[in-house]
Structure 1
Amino acid sequence: MSKDFTKLFDIWSDTYDETVMGTDPQYKQAFEHYDEILHAVAEQAEGHVLEFGVGTGNLTKKLLDKGLNVTGVEPSSKMIKKAKSKLPANFRLLKGDFMQFPSVGHVDTIVSTYAFHHLTDKEKAVALQTYAELLPLNGKLVFADTIFQSAQAKKEMIEIAKKNNFDRLATDLETEFYTTSAELINMCKTAGFDFTLIPKNTFVQLLIAKKVSTDQT
């Protein structure tokens, strides 16, 4: 993952919790049903959970409240500081990202929200292969992220953002690595996952992928 994104996460750390509550009109639709989305991810998690992109710890709290054993991975030092202020003192929170992270032992479920798009599609494919090797058969990925139905749908959302003078949102949509359903489905199949995609709001889809094959191609 680019170090530029880590700098961005440091900047976001001060305003992230307010933004997810819908206080910023540019990102209001992206975070619509935010609490419900976190709940849906937590409901699917089981066993030892590896969470990528802990951020300020909002999903982590739900996972811990469910009684799950959770290991967190986060690249931003400022986000880590924010998360630690909310989470138990003994919570295992490691410095790392989707591509580079310390050994965490046996993992049953890998989760993430609003973060996988910081990888290019090529990096996403490599990461999914890595997770397939880490997970046992029937182990799960549960990711909630901006995933467009098509390249045309993404283009239309950029045009809408510009029309509404949502300059920051338009820039994000043009420069970050949001993928499409077809691309993500192909990556999951190649890595040996069966999967379901469930739309959660205008931008976000919930990916539930189960490892069904040890023969990645």
Structure 2
Amino acid sequence: MEQPDWYYVDLKQVGIDFADPAEVESYDERQADDPQEDRALLARLGIEHFHVVADFGCGTGMLACEAAQIAKRVHAVDISAEMLAKSLRRAKGMGLGNLATQQAGFLSYEIPDNSVDIITSKFALHHLPDLWKGVALARLQRTLRPGGKLFLRDVVFECDPTEVPAVAESWIGWMGANTGYDRAEVATHIRDEHSTYSWIMAGLIERAGFRLLQADYSMRIYADYFAEKA
């Protein structure tokens, strides 16, 4: 659908370029994602065999494929064609035929309203400025069926603005010691991407028409939100 000239273009890469095949191939190792953790998350969200699931910013499809082993249908959405190709290879290797990919972002995906039971997204919404996070969350709310569940994990600053320098430096140090991301890459995230404050994110979720069920924070930089369509 054609958008007005003021509409945000969400297909552009922000931060690390995940159109680069080398970045895609190293992604799982650097993120240290765990399929067992994904299975536990899906169980917590109450996934059933008759559910339709959508995973936004699906990356290499680890969570989406875990969902597809249970759900009726899974939409795997990402702006990176390389990530989607990796997701399809993963699904094929697991013998899954109920996973559909879509190259799109939160503002450009095309999934009918009231058609999805569970929406998940890990480390993707921070690619949008706060104004457009709100628009994106409102779109997700419309996509869910009544009572549908949302799980959102992202980099969120749980601190006062005056504490940002200390929290940022602490996170950079931790990432260098515990992940495959170096100082320059984490600094790029903080400087050029759009992570926000905890009180802003919680407010955006609720203003979009969700009932916020739980918000869990760790290291003052990571947040998990569980919500349902109000």
| TM-score range normalised by the length of the shorter chain | 0.7 to 0.9
- Asked whether 1:81 is paired with 2:85, we answer yes
What's 2:153 paired with?
144
Cα gap change, 1:9 to 1:97, in 2 (>3 Å): same
- Asked whether 1:159 is paired with 2:159, we answer no
Pairing 1:198-217 to 2, within 5 Å after superposition: 198-199=216-217, 203-212=221-230
Once residues 193 and 91 of structure 2 are traced to their aligned partners in structure 1, the CA distance between those partners, rounded to angstroms, is: 29
Maintained 8 Å contact 2:59/2:83: yes
2:215 counterpart letter in structure 1: L
Maintained 8 Å contact 1:197/1:205: yes
Once residues 10 and 201 of structure 1 are traced to their aligned partners in structure 2, the CA distance between those partners, rounded to angstroms, is: 30
Cα gap change, 1:121 to 1:96, in 2 (>3 Å): same
Pairing 1:164-183 to 2, within 5 Å after superposition: 166-183=183-200
Maintained 8 Å contact 1:117/1:178: yes
* 2:127 aligned residue (94, 103, 118): 118
What's 1:28 paired with?
none
1:178 counterpart letter in structure 2: S
Unaligned runs of 5+ in 1: 22-30, 213-217
Tell me how far 1:45 sits from its aligned partner: 5.3
- Aligned-pair identity in percent equals 24
What's 2:38 paired with?
38
Once residues 68 and 37 of structure 1 are traced to their aligned partners in structure 2, the CA distance between those partners, rounded to angstroms, is: 21
What's 2:210 paired with?
193
Unaligned runs of 5+ in 2: 1-9, 177-181
Tell me how far 1:104 sits from its aligned partner: 4.3
Maintained 8 Å contact 1:9/1:76: yes
1:13 counterpart letter in structure 2: V
Tell me how far 1:40 sits from its aligned partner: 4.5
* 1:59 aligned residue (58, 63, 68): 63
Cα root mean square deviation, aligned: 2.6
1:104-140, Cα deviation, whole Å (9 max, x unpaired): 4611111111111111111110111112222232111
SS at match of 2:101: strand
Once residues 39 and 200 of structure 1 are traced to their aligned partners in structure 2, the CA distance between those partners, rounded to angstroms, is: 21
What's 2:30 paired with?
19
* 2:118 aligned residue (109, 116, 121): 109
Pairing 1:95-106 to 2, within 5 Å after superposition: 95-104=103-112, 106=115
Once residues 154 and 68 of structure 1 are traced to their aligned partners in structure 2, the CA distance between those partners, rounded to angstroms, is: 43
Once residues 82 and 124 of structure 1 are traced to their aligned partners in structure 2, the CA distance between those partners, rounded to angstroms, is: 26
Tell me how far 1:184 sits from its aligned partner: 1.0
Q: What's the TM-score once normalised by structure 2's chain length?
A: 0.76
